[in-house]
Amino acid sequence: MRVKICGITREEDALLAVSAGAWAVGAVVCSQSRRSIPLRKAARIFSAVEGTAITVAVSHSKLYEDLEQILAIGPDAIQISHPHHFDDRDVLLFRVVQRGDPIPSDCDAVILDESHGMGIPLDTGFARELVQRSQVPVILAGGLNPENLGVAIRGLNPYAVDVASGVESAPGVKDPEKVKAFMEACRRLYA
């Protein structure tokens, strides 16, 4: 099972995620999120794990100028919630969707995220529909933690899961025990 640990604000947390087996690490930039960090800090985090996990720059910015600056720090992927169009891109594109949104196919994956790092539980009914209807891989997010992971994704078979608040001791600070417990829960579910 692929796991993206998001809302990374410190290099040591990115290294923790990778050592625990995370497939991807996400840093929030150019955003009003309480986990948003400066671009130069995200670049250092991405550099620390380069080649060991997919680095994802997460933004809810509607400004094209922000996206240009985000792309300039060299993430492997960009995760956006607005329908920006990219003509030529050298990064993976993850589009965030929620109920009522059209399901995009002009991307490498869609992320069902109605929580945005706030711990709001995943809507499994909509998640099931999205996994069945999407033409691209689906990543599930929203209130996931080691205790509810199995119930939230049982029978859905998503491409990946995305966790932020469910493995934190404080916003943007990852808890090593929670990260390990989440990864162990994933391994048990997909063994």
Q: Torsion-angle region of residue 92: left (phi > 0), alpha (psi -120 to 50) or beta?
A: beta
Domains of the chain: 2-189 (3.20.20.70)
pLDDT at position 26, please?
Answer: 98
Q: Please list the pLDDT of the chain residue by residue as tens digits (191 residues).
A: 899 999 999 999 999 999 999 999 999 999 988 899 999 999 999 999 999 999 999 998 989 899 999 999 999 999 998 777 766 678 999 999 988 888 988 899 999 887 666 667 777 888 899 999 999 999 999 888 888 888 878 888 899 999 999 999 998 999 999 999 999 999 998 77
Total-model pTM? 0.93
